[in-house]
Amino acid sequence: MAKSTDRYAQRGVSSSKSEVHAVVDHLDRGIFPGAFCKIGPDILTGDPSKCAVIHSDGSGTKSTLAYLHYRETGDPTAFRKTAQDSLVMNIDDLLCIGAVDGILISSTVNRNARAIPGEALAQLISGTEDFLGTLREYGVGVHSGGGETADVGDLTGTVTVDSCAVVVMDRAQVIDNATIKPGLSIVGLASSGQASYESFENSGIGSNGLTSARHDLLCPYYLEAYPETVDKNTATDYLYCGPFRMSDPLPDSQMSVGDALLSPTRTYAPVIKKLLTENRRHIHGMVHCSGGGQTKCIRFGTGVHYIKDNFLPIPPIFKAIQKASGTSDEEMFRVYNMGHRMEVYCAPDAAEAIIAQSESFGIAAQVIGRTEGTERTDGQNHVTIRHAGKTLTYQLGH
């Protein structure tokens, strides 16, 4: 088995996106420069009391797993999960600025029509509409703005699913992560288990790190059978080098490996809608632990030392990835959510109420850490993770 200090990079993926931030961090950061999403003035109506956000994200390479499932079983319904993945990666980013109403979202499907026929495409489209309908049942104001399907066989061997969301909101209602400061509690909301609004158990994998998760868990059979699912510029040592077929049981779990990898990205929208209704004044910031995993927080607040030392139980999917690949602890926490994908930064005396509200939806939560003043002489933010007797440290750009 190939070894690397950064298996993610060996597969052509940047977990820190440092080269991207080197460019965009010098661009205009909007009227709330410390917020989780870029926020601009409301140029649609010109109302100075409002602001506008346009946000884009997608399911990434997770769509490849739905393709593998479809090819292996003939069942196209896994693409409904892919639709949810793309939507949630936008909606849950918007939650972090306090946007829970008036969200208009559109999706773009780029497919190879030979690989993704009409029945699979139909599941992507209907899955989008059904998921948005479920969110509205829980009071989240999100609506479909249509979408686009492009047949681009020259660009993709299978399918990509991306979404774009637009929202106009009151400036006074914005959650601004610039207010994250020393002295706060960090409440983590679990990524695994089964929420009251979910119909099946979720492994917690989300939609980050799936390039590595897929190749580290699935066996060489998939490289031979489905060469259209790999980047031919990646060394074969890093392609489908795991021990499992998708139908194999996931160790220490009731799920199969395929079901665990296909678990749709959980939305926290119903929970955050309730939190903002009842506890907005106590919330100083929220972080969606997507790209960058447990180090995502480092980009928010000023002069903050993020200490995370009381993690929820690490879900079996992440343990299996690390055991199969030999990936370092440092990389695991930088790439994956490791058990909680939403963080609420609050006054310590509000933590108990926030935990109770999350648990009322069947989602485990606990205080996973705290914020203190930076210990760096340059005043920059940094992260310390303590888990299983190990201490991991992270700083910007590393």
Please tell me whether the overall predicted TM-score, pTM, comes out greater than 0.75 for this model. Answer: yes
pLDDT single digits (tens) 143-180 = 999 999 999 999 999 999 999 999 999 999 999 999 99
pLDDT, residue 190, reads: 98
Q: Can you give the residue range of the structural domain that contains 189?
A: 7-395
Residue-wise pLDDT tens digits, 234-249: 999 999 999 999 999 9
3-state secondary structure of 81: helix
Is position 1 within any domain?
no
Q: Which of 301, 286, 262 minimizes the C-alpha distance to 382?
A: 301
> Residue holding tokens 């003043």?
373
Q: 16-30, 37-51, 188-202, 277-291: which has the minimum mean pLDDT?
A: 16-30
What pLDDT, on a 0 to 100 scale, did the predictor assign at position 1? 39
Query: Across the strands, what pairs with 218?
Result: 244
Q: Give 369's strand partners.
A: 186, 308
What confidence score (pLDDT) does residue 75 get? 97
Q: Is 342 among the domain residues? A: yes
| Virtual torsion, Cα 164, 357, 190, 173, nearest 10 deg | 30
Number of domains, the chain: 1
92-146 pLDDT per residue, tens: 999 999 999 999 999 999 999 999 999 999 999 999 999 999 999 999 999 999 9
Average pLDDT, the chain: 94
Residue 13, pLDDT above cutoff 70: no
On whether residue 378 sits in a domain, the answer given is yes
Q: Say what angle helices 63-73 and 78-95 make with each other, to 10 degrees.
A: 170
Q: Are 217 and 261 in contact (CB under 8 A)?
A: yes
CA atoms in the 13 A half-sphere facing the CB of 135: 29
pLDDT of residue 5: 52
Answer yes or no: is 2 within a domain: no
Nearest to 61 by CA among 216, 184, 219: 216
Confidence of residue 24 (pLDDT cuts 50, 70, 90): low
Q: Is 349 strand, coil or helix?
A: helix
The model's confidence at residue 26, banded by pLDDT at 50, 70 and 90, is low
DSSP H or E segment with residue 150: strand 142-151
% of the chain at pLDDT higher than 90: 91
The tens digit of pLDDT for each residue in 195-249 reads 999 999 999 999 999 999 999 999 999 999 999 999 999 999 999 999 999 999 9
Residue 355 scores a pLDDT above 50: yes
pLDDT in tens, 252-270: 999 999 999 999 999 999 9
Is the separation of the CB atoms in 59 and 89 below 8 Å?
yes
Q: What is the pLDDT of residue 391?
A: 98
* Residue 115 in domain: yes
**C-alpha–C-alpha distance, residues 329 and 7, integer Å:** 12
Specify the pLDDT at position 396. Answer: 87
Q: Are 271 and 365 in contact (CB under 8 A)?
A: no
Torsions phi, psi for 55 (to 5 deg): -135, 140
pLDDT, position 11: 64
Amino acid letter for position 138: Y
Q: Which two tokens stand for residue 16?
A: 């820190």
- Dist CA 175 CA 20 (whole Å): 24
Query: Averaged over 62-66, what is the pLDDT?
Result: 97
Cα first-last separation, the chain: 26
CATH number at residue 257: 3.90.650.10
Give the orientation angle of helix 78-95 with respect to helix 269-279, to 10 degrees.
20
Mean pLDDT of 320-342: 97
